[in-house]
Amino acid sequence: MAKYLSKKKRNPNRKLFILLACVLVLLAIAVFAVVKIFDSTIPDSPDDDTSIGDQTPNGGESSGDQSGDVTDPNGDGQQGNDDPAPPTPADETAKIAEADYLIRGYFYDEAIELLSGLTSAEAQDKLAEAQALKAGLVKYTGQTYHIFFHSLIIDTDLAFDNKGHPASGYNEWMVTREEFIEILPLLLENDFVLYDITWMCEYDEATGKVTKKDIYLPEGKKPLVMSFDDMNYYDYMLTDGFAQRLDVDENGKIVTHVGGTPVKRNGHIVDIKDYEVTYDGDAVPILDAFCEEHPEFSYRGARGIAALTGYAGAFGWRITDLDWYTAEEQEMILNKVKLIAQTLRDNGWQIANHSYTHNQYWNNKTITMDQLKYDTGRWLNEIMPYVGESHILISPFGVSFKQDDERYRYIVEECGFYIYCPVTATMNTTFYGDNMIQERLNIDGLTMIDYPDRIKNHFFDPAEVLDSARPPM
């Protein structure tokens, strides 16, 4: 006891310390109770992570819905989340199918971009396919090919009845619709792929120099240019089983007007009535449809070249004889030509000058400088403003000039036609500093029947496609 009492004397504040500790404990209990009571008055957020009074983007309190969603400034009520929703299986399937179509048409970069971010095994396989095909493109070092056609014979009975234009002319210079339809898959089977002629050269506006551009294609593919002469439709053909003109349907596709009755005014054919709208009345819609079904036949959307002879207008519309028409009719046909030309270009077509007059002075090469200036001047001033800029001249009658001929110098230097296409069986492409010459081979009755080897050596056996409706040559 004495020992115990002696210790208490050495700690006189012990009771004070104990009392202070008790007070602190009681105070902590009281604070905790107050906090719990206050917290119980706050409404729970659905996500348990939002605070009272969620704000709208303009700073005011949101009314009605207290879910904590942020109102979109455009009012679409979407969650405030910048991350795009992951693609659904249906989305991925559609994109894979679209990418596959792009790959078939050699749009490898576009397919790769479309597939980026897709995670399914099928999408990754398709992405790897596109990347491998792009990496597998090789520089093409072989011959370039260029073939051409005239308007297709649609009705052989009318074309070969000798009641309009002589049947012999159509037999020599044209192919029938059935022949053209059979030719296309043969070209595809033989590894030809349509290629845009303007991609074959580089033009330097500052120097006027034209240089060869490299061509890259999948191994084994061969670049093919196709052109179509006189896509203006001459009056003499209107009753001989050909299309009358081109047009554009409500879906933006090129169509043909076939048949019907010519409408005359003051001795001029100014319109066609009771015609039939078709999708196989000439080469343009047929080739477009074939390339849509077989995109592997067209390198990155390339089609052909529509060559226009100016004096007969463009695409069957007589824009160079506007004085035949009323002001309202003039506006209509000019707008038609603009629409057709733009639709062609949008679909991968090029448009070329095939001369304005198609006069015999081209054929016998007696054309003078004055005649040349008249001819090219009218095409540049009366056709090109409505069909768009062109630097391609498809020579009438296939005529060629020497490089130093002053007439050819005028064509290249003054008129800007630095791509010139005459006709030969060899189909050579040659560069001459400020212009490119690309020779063409005619595909027609004359070549298929009398000179079949010119075609057979490169493309197909003409005997496989000859129309039985042809008369003897």
User: Is there a single domain that holds both residue 121 and residue 149?
Assistant: no
User: Is there a single domain that holds both residue 173 and residue 304?
Assistant: yes
Task: Tell me: pLDDT of 15 over 70.
Answer: no
Task: Tell me: pLDDT of 134 over 90.
Answer: yes
What is d(CA 444, CA 465) in angstroms, rounded to the nearest whole number? 11
Contact 108, 133 (CB under 8 A): yes
Is residue 50, in this structure, part of any structural domain at all? no
What is d(CA 324, CA 319) in angstroms, rounded to the nearest whole number? 10
Which domain, by its residues, includes 123?
89-136
Q: Which two tokens stand for residue 457?
A: 């050596």
User: Is there a single domain that holds both residue 104 and residue 211?
Assistant: no
Mean pLDDT along residues 251-271: 95
Mean pLDDT along residues 358-366: 96
Is residue 68, in this structure, part of any structural domain at all? no
Residue 43's pLDDT is what? 43
Greater pLDDT, 40 or 222:
222
User: Is there a single domain that holds both residue 122 and residue 214?
Assistant: no
Query: What SS3 state is found at 260?
Result: coil
The long-range contacts involving 252-256, CB below 8 angstroms and separated by at least 24 positions, are 252/343, 253/279, 253/285, 253/288, 253/343, 254/284, 254/285, 254/288, 254/340, 254/343, 254/344, 254/347, 255/279, 255/281, 255/285, 256/280, 256/281, 256/282, 256/284, 256/285
Read off the pLDDT band of 30 (50, 70, 90).
low
Q: How far is CA 287 from CA 99, 159, 172, 301, in A?
A: 22, 22, 22, 12
What is d(CA 357, CA 123) in angstroms, rounded to the nearest whole number? 55
pTM of the shown model: 0.82
User: Is there a single domain that holds both residue 108 and residue 165?
Assistant: no
Strand (E) or helix (H) holding 94: helix 89-104
AA letter at 325: Y
Residue 432's pLDDT is what? 98
Percentage of the chain modeled with pLDDT above 90 = 80
Is residue 1, in this structure, part of any structural domain at all? no
Q: In 3D, which of 185, 194, 183 has the Cα closest to residue 221?
A: 194
Q: How far is CA 332 from CA 79, 229, 259, 370, in A?
A: 51, 25, 21, 33
Q: Which residues pair with 203 in a beta bridge?
A: 210
Residue 90's pLDDT is what? 82
Please state which of the ranges 7-11, 195-199, 461-465 shows the lowest mean pLDDT: 7-11
Is residue 247, in this structure, part of any structural domain at all? yes
Is residue 60, in this structure, part of any structural domain at all? no
| Residue 197: Cβ within 10 Å count | 24
Residue 83's pLDDT is what? 63
Is residue 70, in this structure, part of any structural domain at all? no
Greater pLDDT, 145 or 57:
145
Q: In 3D, which of 287, 193, 227 has the Cα closest to residue 422?
A: 227
Is residue 73, in this structure, part of any structural domain at all? no
Residue 115's pLDDT is what? 97
User: Is there a single domain that holds both residue 299 and residue 320?
Assistant: yes
Quickly tell me which residue has 């349907």 as its tokens: 249
Read off the pLDDT band of 28 (50, 70, 90).
low
User: Is there a single domain that holds both residue 112 and residue 174?
Assistant: no
List phi, psi (to 5°) of 306. -90, 115
User: Is there a single domain that holds both residue 111 and residue 149?
Assistant: no
Strand (E) or helix (H) holding 149: strand 145-149
Task: Tell me: pLDDT of 375 over 80.
Answer: yes
Q: How far apart are the first and last CA of the chain?
A: 147
What is d(CA 293, CA 297) in angstroms, rounded to the nearest whole number? 9
Q: Which two tokens stand for residue 90?
A: 């249906």
In this predicted model, what pLDDT tens digit does every residue of 166-195 receive, in sequence order?
Answer: 999 999 999 999 999 999 999 999 999 999
Residues 6+ positions from 412 with CB-CB distance below 8 Å: 418, 420, 434, 435
What is d(CA 49, CA 393) in angstroms, rounded to the nearest whole number? 72
- Domain final residue, candidates 118, 136, 154: 136
Residue 88's pLDDT is what? 82
User: Is there a single domain that holds both residue 131 and residue 149?
Assistant: no
- Domain final residue, candidates 119, 136, 153: 136
User: Is there a single domain that holds both residue 128 and residue 169?
Assistant: no
Residues 6+ positions from 8 with CB-CB distance below 8 Å: 14
Percentage of the chain modeled with pLDDT above 70 = 82
User: Is there a single domain that holds both residue 185 and residue 301?
Assistant: yes
Residues 6+ positions from 243 with CB-CB distance below 8 Å: 151, 152, 154, 233, 256, 257, 258, 278, 281, 282, 316
- Domain final residue, candidates 116, 136, 156: 136
What mean pLDDT is reported for the chain? 87
Evaluated on CA atoms 373, 378, 380, 381, the torsion sign reads positive
User: Is there a single domain that holds both residue 95 and residue 178?
Assistant: no
Give how many domains the chain has, as a whole number. Answer: 2
Q: What is the CATH number of the domain that holds 217?
A: 3.20.20.370
Is residue 250, in this structure, part of any structural domain at all? yes
Residues 6+ positions from 27 with CB-CB distance below 8 Å: none
Running DSSP on this structure, what letter comes out for residue 429? E
